[in-house]
Chain A
């Protein structure tokens, strides 16, 4: 079977590599300036063929290259895992300034956690690349989704992902409820560590708590 991405596979990889190296250079600059990295780790992937086809079917869309690249916006996916919540927002701020990229949508599931407890920051970008796109534009424009979260949120999401594929669990409701509680406890730790880091660093802290 021909690739769902048609002839655009290399262009997608180019977009992914470009965004990854932009993030890596932010990290380098941040490390030089502050003596510590902006994020813990970074990973990128092109959504695999079968998941893309499944997503198109689920959305009732045609299984075509055009739909895969225009109607679905996470063919290119990048995940940034930070240690502190402030680092997530700092990375988001830097991403907004990447040249040749337009922010299409931002979803802050950290401040607005999903009902099940999921927390992450999602940004959908439209990135320019010198290759043509399915609409014949050169430079072409391709979507990419960047997900940012803390290590705690990442660990939680891995567990929740596992649960999603376990439909036969008898005590599903209980597991879901406890998972939600864990998400809230992890969030509590993330926020407390953020507070402590600010107190440790702040010159006038811990006195500086007006209108917290």
Chain B
């Protein structure tokens, strides 16, 4: 194996919306050729982190360096240069509804390269075949199932052969079989095309199937990060709770709830 090299470096990233801290001093490295899965509960800031990593939003403080370019401080032209090397598949397939699947995949090639039409047609066919949609190029997105739309959006995200692929909830809203197919596709993209992949999800099964390393976001903070094997045996209580799918204890404990309520109202609660 080649010595590990970071393609994405995040240092002390802080993000706030109004007074609410969404991300609190995040430090993260994504190594070349790995699949890193970012896990976390709803509202933990996963998607926000992703949107920052692809330069859709500027950080309040801290730095995000993708392929040597600091996204928070670079010019629009430099940002666009970096974007040439990244592919993004959003939670929503976000295919352009007025174009066929082929045209959707061809779109970045038409807009961003000088390839001739016949070459573009070939690339589109290869990309569609990779995601198992070789015969569906002429269909419109609305004529495809959710899983197929997702695949098509992955084909479009990989059209320019990006070095880094970002996935936001790749299996959200899909049945387990289709979701497993998407997982397989992610692993294939990593192995066959040597892509670096970041997946944001809350699906445990899927995470362990595809990940080389896992990172956990909790309450705006990155709490644990490590290779799959060490995470499985983690002793961190919160990570354990997440992995074992246990609910928060406080939410069911009546006495504790009463006590909290009493504190807020400023009255003393009789101790049993």
Same complex for A and B? Answer: no
